[in-house]
């Protein structure tokens, strides 16, 4: 089963994708993290991401494809987090999977109000060492202001207040149209993303089973 998980910023996509991947033994493909790693050595890409804009389609597909090949698990039993993010990307994404002899089975949409997203984003912290993501409200670190690995927690540049509105605007104008396409494809599942992490995971598993 291949799953795409969608939702506005700080809706819990990464947290839920990780949980579902562990429950169903799926390869978690976090395109945002893959792009951020690439951006460390690519100044142009870093500027794009820090501005809150979306990375180029071809670059994202190439990085995702490279990651899957390196994992050696093929193109089935995957959960995609962060890509595709536009209707054009969705079409490209389905064509790419078809070329690989695979398909998209479910699109899970985490419904979260903008006000909740903004509150969560302002409280999100990322480990500078291992990349683990925490939320000071919904998923705080156990070690106070440190990651479980002991690393320093920082606020990503694309989580700063001045980029939050732009990112939410992009989500509503460019990502939400995917929902209509997924509905037409008969693969859309909507889940209340404002519940507790455990409750959201349970709801997703129940609806995709």
Known catalytic residue at 156: yes
120 is catalytic: no
The four Cα atoms 175, 177, 178, 184 give a dihedral, to 10 degrees, of 170
Q: If we measure between CA atoms, which residue out of 16, 10, 59 comes closest to residue 39?
A: 59
Concerning whether 166 is annotated as a catalytic residue, the answer is no
Q: Does 124 participate in catalysis according to the annotation?
A: yes
Specify whether 73 is catalytic. no
Q: Check: CB of residue 118 under 8 Å from CB of residue 168.
A: yes
Catalytic hit among 36, 106, 125, 167: 167
Tell me if residue 74 falls in helix, strand or coil.
coil
Catalytic residue among 38, 85, 106, 120: 85
**What ranges in the chain are assigned the alpha helix state H?**
13-24, 31-39, 43-50, 57-71, 87-99, 114-122, 161-170, 177-185, 197-208
**Tokens representing residue 33 in the block:** 């993290």
Gap between the Cα atoms of 202 and 193, Å rounded: 11
Say if residues 12 and 109 touch (Cβ distance below 8 Å): no
Which residue of the set 13, 36, 120, 125 is catalytic? 13
The single residue of 18, 46, 156, 190 carrying the catalytic annotation is 156
Q: Which of 36, 120, 124, 125 is catalytic?
A: 124
The residues that are catalytic are: 13, 85, 124, 156, 167
């Amino acid at each position: 089963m291949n799953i795409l998980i969608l939702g506005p910023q700080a809706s819990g996509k990464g947290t839920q994708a990780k949980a579902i991947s562990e429950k169903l033994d799926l390869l978690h493909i976090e395109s945002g993290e893959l792009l951020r790693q690439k951006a460390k050595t690519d100044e142009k890409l870093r500027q794009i991401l820090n501005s809150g804009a979306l990375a180029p389609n071809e670059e994202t597909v190439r990085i995702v494809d490279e990651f899957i090949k390196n994992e050696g698990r093929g193109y089935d039993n995957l959960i995609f987090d962060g890509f595709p993010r536009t209707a054009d990307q969705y079409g490209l994404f389905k064509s790419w999977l078809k070329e690989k002899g695979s398909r998209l089975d479910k699109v899970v949409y985490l419904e979260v109000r903008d006000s909740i997203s903004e509150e969560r984003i302002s409280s999100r912290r990322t480990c500078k060492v291992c990349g683990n993501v925490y939320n000071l409200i919904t998923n705080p670190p156990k070690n106070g202001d440190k990651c479980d690995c002991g690393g320093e927690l920082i606020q990503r540049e694309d989580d700063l207040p001045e980029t939050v509105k732009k990112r939410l605007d992009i989500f509503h104008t460019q990502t939400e149209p995917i929902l209509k396409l997924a509905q037409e494809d008969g693969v859309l599942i909507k889940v209340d993303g404002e519940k507790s992490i455990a409750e959201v995971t349970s709801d997703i598993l129940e609806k995709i089973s």
